[in-house]
Structure 1
Amino acid sequence: MRALTKTLVSVTTAIGIATGGLATAGTAMAAPATTAQERVVTAEVGTLAVVNLGLSSAQAKDVQRWLKTYHGYTGAIDGALGTNSWKAFQRCLKQYWGYTGAIDGIVGGGTVSALQRLLRDTGHYSGAIDGIAGPGTKAGFKAWANQF
């Protein structure tokens, strides 16, 4: 009985592998559609990203109010620094602190470097302008946000 069971499992496995091999040949043509679909999902996730860089919700709301008053922020005052908040911040950073990147709301090295220049110039940061949002940058950002 065991020998029969082993044989059936082996044959079933071999058939499954063969079928899987044939099935994957057909899906190779569909791979570009999956890739395009993944790009859309990634883009949607990117627009939902919240990067408060250590700020509390209350501090982030204060920053959003400041952005609304001075830099064209039109989003909700919700305490979540998302894409629209960072686009407004990037406009500010471009105007005054040497940000040269796209106004895309993505908090990358260029955005962080310009933020570090703002923080240094306002006396809230003394570290390197390295584009890394480390503890010193986050502490400086919190101190800067507390002035509102």
Structure 2
Amino acid sequence: MRSHVLARTIVSLTAVAGIAAGSLAVAGTSYAASAPTAQSVVAAPAAATSTENFGLTTAEAINVQTFLAGDWNYTGKLDGQLGTESWKAFQRCLKKYWGYTGNIDGDPGSNTIMALQRLLKDSYGYTGKIDGIAGTETRAAFKRFAA
């Protein structure tokens, strides 16, 4: 009787091992890489220079660019589009006088806006929080700055 139980146990273990091995083999083929497909390569268009005027008209933005050209090494066009080069020049100003601590990268992100808000609070009637959000109060004070 004991040999019969032993034999049945061995058969059961062998069956379990076989099932497990078969499952692994199937799993291996189910995850096999498919044949490569031909794809055409399309060149991405060049990134357009984005502008952020924060509500300024073209004429007002030209006033800002003129200010930046006079004192902050802005050498771009006076086109009324505050793009990367305009914001780099503005960041140089903000870094020197208004506590901007970020990189001079031309991205008018929240750090740039907080420094701009400090400038606007000092002399252009901004009464909101220094929160890095260019909301309606920030935009109104920026228009006064640009006038």
CA contact (8 A) 2:50 2:83 kept: yes
Which aligned pairs between 1:1-148 and structure 2 lie closer than 5 A? Answer: 22=34, 26=36, 44-45=47-48, 48-146=49-147
CA contact (8 A) 2:124 2:142 kept: no
Shift of 1:124: 2.4
- Name the TM-score, length of structure 2 as normaliser: 0.70
- Structure 1 residue runs of 4+, over 4 Å off? none
Closer/same/farther in 2, CA of residues 116 and 84 from structure 1, 3 Å limit: same
CA contact (8 A) 1:124 1:141 kept: no
SS for the counterpart of 1:22 is coil
Shift of 1:132: 0.2
Amino acid at match of 1:122: S
Higher Cα Rg: structure 1 or 2? 2
CA contact (8 A) 1:61 1:79 kept: yes
Q: What RMSD in Å do the two structures reach over aligned CA positions?
A: 2.3
CA contact (8 A) 2:124 2:144 kept: no
SS for the counterpart of 2:68 is helix
Taking the aligned partners of 1:145 and 1:76, their CA distance within structure 2 comes to 17
Taking the aligned partners of 1:84 and 1:123, their CA distance within structure 2 comes to 24
Taking the aligned partners of 2:109 and 2:84, their CA distance within structure 1 comes to 12
SS for the counterpart of 2:34 is helix
CA contact (8 A) 2:55 2:143 kept: yes
Taking the aligned partners of 2:110 and 2:67, their CA distance within structure 1 comes to 23
Shift of 1:144: 1.1
CA contact (8 A) 2:68 2:74 kept: yes
For structure 1, the residue ranges without an aligned partner over 5 or more in a row are 1-20
For structure 2, the residue ranges without an aligned partner over 5 or more in a row are 1-32
Identity %: 52
Amino acid at match of 2:75: T
* Higher share of residues assigned helix: 1
Aligned residues: 113
